[in-house]
Structure 1
Amino acid sequence: MAETTAEIVLFEGFDELDAIGPYEVLENAAQAGADLETSLVTLEETDMVTASHDLRVESQGTLGQPDILIVPGGGWTTSNGGVRAAVDDGALAAAVDERFTEGATVASVCTGAMVLAEAGLLEGRPAATHPVAEEDLEASAANVVDERIVDDGDVLTAGGVTSGLDLALWIVEREFGEEIASEVSALMEYERGEVFG
């Protein structure tokens, strides 16, 4: 069986924990035996991406055709960078839709759900996001639910910031089994929330 690939797509103004939290969970899962390769990527080639709290992160490559694509949130309520700028630009949403059409499981953390909504992936589906974007997500025809994690099969969404940890742990359990997920959860001393769906 081929190795599972996961890519977390970064953009200017993304929220640090939305991306780095899931990255650490998935890397720990690989160390615990999951046949998984995780990368922090960008849409276009770039050396560094500046996150919402000014952390500068080096990209590990450009977006490929991963099995699992995770879109972080951050910056929905700001006017410079972040998810708002990514949605207005449209390129990230188009890339997400393309990967989804090619068979990737797509997941979002926090306001990253707005990118999935722009890509047309949440229409009529249950979805979670950060409270600051719930009304906007509802306006996009998603069925907004107040949950930390929503698993709707090939599309998963997570609520506010720290729920990215729950999302990644759920992906690990779903793809590689409860034993590895529990091992990672114990290692990180993190107690997971419930999954909706």
Structure 2
Amino acid sequence: MHVQIVLFDGFDPLDVIAPFEVLYAGGTASDGAVTVELVSAEGPREVVSGTGGLALRAGAALDPHRAGLVLVPGASGRVGGPDETPGEQPAAGERKQDDSIPVLLGRTLKTPLPALLEKAMAHPQVTVATVCGGSLVLAMAGLLEGRYATTHHLGLDMLDATGVHAVSARVVDD
């Protein structure tokens, strides 16, 4: 099985690194039956997370036709609006502090990512999974309407607002 973990500007590093480590270890233990790579909608590039300017390198473009798993992380940033930390300036290499999680997730809609995820979801040999707020990327792109999904408890109302049946649970399989 091949796993593509999607990076986008403002991604949450924990949502990427933890699954990467577990899946990589699974590949090692299974003599390569599981492979994992970091990808972005735009192709190979440095992608800045929403945490302290930490950047990871996407080694390839997301391939929505490649059989396996596509994993979409959530974003890391402020929960509220820009008025919560007035006057705060970003350090060198950091994202602007007024980037809230909904804004970071919403910016993915202006990239090729939604169209690529739609193609992946339509492919019968591709499973699309999300971590935390990653489900909001799919929901805001209109890809989960009428389906069941979950996210961080602070984002459940956003799921509902997009026509998703929000479930208060750790895991939803739909």
TM-score of the superposed pair, with normalisation by structure 2:
0.77
Q: Please tell me whether residue 7 in structure 1 is matched to residue 28 in structure 2.
A: no
Q: Please tell me whether residue 139 in structure 1 is matched to residue 171 in structure 2.
A: no
* 2: CA distance, partners of 1:92 / 1:133: 20
Q: How far did 1:90 drift?
A: 5.2
Larger Rg: 2
Question: Is the contact between residue 9 and residue 63 of structure 1 (CA under 8 Å) also seen in structure 2?
Answer: yes
Question: Is the contact between residue 92 and residue 115 of structure 1 (CA under 8 Å) also seen in structure 2?
Answer: no
Question: Is the contact between residue 149 and residue 172 of structure 2 (CA under 8 Å) also seen in structure 1?
Answer: yes
Question: Is the contact between residue 73 and residue 82 of structure 1 (CA under 8 Å) also seen in structure 2?
Answer: no
CA offsets, 1:136-190, max 9 Å, x none? 11111111111111112xxxxxxxxxxxxxxxxxxxxxxxxxxxxxxxxxxxxxx
Structure-2 residue corresponding to 1:44: 42
Structure-2 residue corresponding to 1:63: 62
Q: How far did 1:10 drift?
A: 0.3
Structure-1 residue corresponding to 2:86: none
Q: Please tell me whether residue 21 in structure 1 is matched to residue 42 in structure 2.
A: no
| Aligned pairs, number | 148
* 2: CA distance, partners of 1:51 / 1:90: 16
* 2: CA distance, partners of 1:55 / 1:139: 31
Q: How far did 1:123 drift?
A: 1.9
- Structure 2: 5+ residue stretches without partners: 82-97
Question: Is the contact between residue 93 and residue 118 of structure 1 (CA under 8 Å) also seen in structure 2?
Answer: no
CA offsets, 1:94-121, max 9 Å, x none? 1100111123211111111111113433
Q: 1:31 aligns with which of 28, 31, 44?
A: 28
1:92 to 1:47, Cα distance in 2 relative to 1, 3 A: closer
Question: Alignment identity in percent?
Answer: 35
Aligned-CA RMSD value = 1.9
Which letter does structure 2 place at the counterpart of 1:15?
A: D
Give the secondary structure class of the aligned counterpart of 2:61.
coil
Structure-2 residue corresponding to 1:170: none
Question: Is the contact between residue 8 and residue 108 of structure 2 (CA under 8 Å) also seen in structure 1?
Answer: yes
Which letter does structure 2 place at the counterpart of 1:73?
A: G
Higher fraction of helix: 1
Q: 2:108 aligns with which of 80, 86, 91?
A: 86
- Structure 1: 5+ residue stretches without partners: 153-197
Which letter does structure 2 place at the counterpart of 1:39?
A: E
* 2: CA distance, partners of 1:94 / 1:107: 16
